[in-house]
Every structure is written in structure tokens, then in C-alpha cells.
Amino acid sequence: MIRVKDEIKFVRDNVKEHTTWFEESIPLIASENIISPLVREMLATDFHNRYAEGVPWKRYYQGNLYVDKVEERANELGKKLFDCAYCDTRPTSGTAANIAMFFKFAKPGQTYTSCNVADGAHISSAKFGAAGVRGLEEVTYPFNVDEMNIDIDGTIKVIKEAKPKIALFGMSVFLFPTPLKELQEAFDETECTVWYDGAHVLGLIAGGEFQDPLKEGAHILTGSTHKTLPGPQGGVVLGNPRDKKMEDKMNYGVFPGVLSNHHLHHMAGKAIAFAEAMEFGKDYAKDIIKNAQALAQALHEAGFKVLAEEHGFTKSHALVMDVSEIGGGTPLVEALEEANIITNKNLLPWDPANKALNPSGIRLGAQECTRLGMGTQEMVEIADIFKEICIDKKDPKVVRERVRSFKKEFTKVHYCYNDGANPYEYIDIAGNI
């Protein structure tokens, strides 16, 4: 017989244990971040409980007076932050935003160009992901492994020969800006829709520290709102549509294309995150990149094979290591996790697709540690901890105590209003069950 109170206690206890675990861990996954107290507040409001199909002031439900005001402001804040003409905060994830654009800008059987997943592209842009679900034909760009970026001359040739409906640029291993300006002639010749998936680097773009794809040839910028842009889980579509027809496609791709109701509490959280990025985003972006470069350099000096050494390792929040000679991606990320260091294994350009569960690489991101107040000296210490586990092969359980002690000094969220609040604080609203 199921005891409901026991089931509730099981769930709540595990959520609390998870929160404590991360409070005592070094978070280095490149696609995650911590939200501010004000964003967190939005997620616990009555907006969570409501429906608002459609766009502000043209809804299919009543009860949206204040929702409309907030969503209209959220979109205006997005346009100001990214200096663009269009913003839609409805997508419930970056992948949902991507699916919407695939469905409205290409038909089954038509061609799109993109990076290869093994070269660092996101799975939604792959034949086996959202693009394939739409029935599109993929042509991938040639990739320069030394530079960890697309090959410019080869990409121009691919676009001119393939004549894609969509030329998509965007990575999950996003180390350097994409050379969009150099591809403009190919874009003009083929009249393709140029789309930049900035999920990983959206906060760096907002802070003016990476590149501005909408000023460099892209018509559409999609992204996640919870990575280097430290808002709630969700997505966004931004852009400078060529005309009203293109704007309508962007609108209808989201609704009714891939969602009915959007997550209103997340939309409100996005508005707060955009506003906070206007004030704190530039400093935050600068410090993220500084820390990522410091971590890459320190890992290199500790004996790790960090990619793109000749190009400064990275100009973003992320870096990638080839660990095939010291144990491989899967065994090492598991050992790191046992020591309370949270990372992810990652395919490298030379890995075969069937190696996805045991790839050669590890991907790291500096954005969450930066958000917690860490600086370049802490990146050096983190690199030394990595060396203990991955190269010196110390017992992860022993190293875990060093990690816990280290992390005690970094349990406050920064670059936001209410700076210094504890993001791991568990708010017990249900009492003791």
C-alpha cells in the first residue's frame, strides 16, 4: 500500500539532498547557471498556474491583464538588451525555439547547412534531432580542428553549392566567434535565411563581449535563457526580420507552431534576467571569459591537453580538453563527480559518432563559478584539484573534502540585485511532513 506522505517525503528529501550536494560542489557544466533571488521569486508566483495562449492583448483566455503587461515589457527589454527589432520570450526552451524556426523557414526535403555534432554543434541542429524530425536534408560545414571553428573558404563553397533554405550557425562547444561577416557574399548570393543559435553565448552577446550576430549577417538569433544569460530555464527568439512576412513566420513558428501556452512564470523571470543583464551583464561577461581563459591556462600548465592552445584556448565561457590519454571522458567525469566536481563528457571532432557514451573529451564552463564570486585565482586551484583526480589518480573521496572546504567560501550569487543571497537556500513552504 502506498503511503502518500512517505512518497512526498521521498521527493522532498531527495530535492534537499541534491541542493546540499551542489552547495558543496564545483559546478562546471557549460549549459547551466544559478538564478538571482528576484528571478527565483517569479517562479513561485501565480503566473505559474495560468494560461495565456496568443500574444499580449490578443489572447484566447481571460485573466491576462497583468500577464500581458509583463510579457510586453519582457519583449521590450529583450529588444533593448540585444539592440534588435524583434523578441519573443514565449519559447519554453532553446530547442523549442529552434524547432519553431525549422518548421517555419524550411519544408520537408529542403536543405539546411550546419555544423556537425562531433565538431560541437547542438543535437537539435542534427539530422537525428529537430531538423531531422522536420524532414530536412543536412549539409555540414568543413571544420578547422586547430582553430575549433568552421573553415571560412570551405563554408563559403558549401553554402554556394548547397543553396540552403537555412544557413544555421551555433555550437554547444562554442569557443570562438563565428566568422559571419566573411560569409556575407555567400548569404547574399543564395538568399538563405541566416540563423545563429546563441544558446551558450547569449549572456556574452548581451554583455558585448563575444560577437553581435544580428549586426554581422544573421536574421535570427535563438537562445537559451539559463546558460551564460543567467535566467530561468527557457528559450527566446530574437532578430531583425527582413520584412513583415518573415516576422509573421517567426511568430507563428512559436505559436501555434510548437506550443500552446507558454510558461508564464518563466517569462516573468526572463524579464527580470534581461533587466539585471542590462546593469550587470557587461562585467559578468568579461569576468566569465577571463575565468575561462585562466582555467584553460592553468589546466594546460597542470598537464592537460586543452584544445586550441595556439588561439588562446577560448574566447567564451567554455573550454574543451582531450583526455583520451589519461583515462577517457566517461571514467574521468565519473571520478570528478565522486569528488563533487560536476562536468560533462563531450565528443571531439575526431571521435566517431558511436563513441558518444565514452568520448575523448571533457567540456567545462566558467559561468556558474563566476556567478558565485570566483576569480582567476580560484581557477588555478580548480585546475590543481583536477590534476589530483585525473593525473595523480588520488582517491576522489579524499579529494571531495578539499572540494567541500573550497566551496564553503562561494555560496552567494553575484551580478544581480540582492547580491550576496544564498542560491542554495531551501525554502520550506510545506512544513514538516
Q: What is the CATH number of the domain that holds 244?
A: 3.40.640.10
pTM of the model as a whole:
0.95
Domain assignment present for 10:
no
| Res. 433 pLDDT band, cuts 50 70 90 | very low
Measure the CA dihedral 98/101/103/104, to 10°: 170
| Res. 153 pLDDT band, cuts 50 70 90 | very high
Task: Give the pLDDT score at 123.
Answer: 79
Domain assignment present for 227:
yes
- Concatenated DSSP letters for 94-109? HHHHHHHHHHHH--TT
Lowest mean pLDDT among 197-201, 269-273, 423-427: 423-427
Domain assignment present for 263:
yes
pLDDT value at 129 more than 90? no
Domain assignment present for 369:
no
250-277: b (≥16 Cβ within 10 Å) or e? bbebbbebbbeebbbbbbbbbbbbbbbb
Domain assignment present for 16:
no
Task: Give the pLDDT score at 15.
Answer: 93
pLDDT value at 431 more than 90? no
Q: Over the stretch 75-89, which tens digit does the pLDDT of each residue have?
A: 999 999 999 999 999
| Res. 132 pLDDT band, cuts 50 70 90 | confident
pLDDT value at 426 more than 80? no
Tally of domains in the chain? 1
What whole-number percentage of the chain has pLDDT above 90? 85
Lowest mean pLDDT among 292-301, 354-363, 419-428: 419-428
Name the average pLDDT for the chain.
94
Domain assignment present for 135:
yes
| Res. 425 pLDDT band, cuts 50 70 90 | confident
What residue has cell string 554581422? 216
Domain assignment present for 90:
yes
Task: Give the pLDDT score at 428.
Answer: 57
Domain assignment present for 134:
yes
Q: What is the mean pLDDT of residues 400-406?
A: 98
Which residue range is the domain that position 239 belongs to?
40-276
Q: Over the stretch 16-37, which tens digit does the pLDDT of each residue have?
A: 999 999 999 999 999 999 999 9
Q: What is the CA radius of gyration of the chain?
A: 22
Cell of 3: 503511503
Measured CA to CA, the distance from residue 234 to residue 247 in angstroms comes to: 21
Task: Give the pLDDT score at 217.
Answer: 93
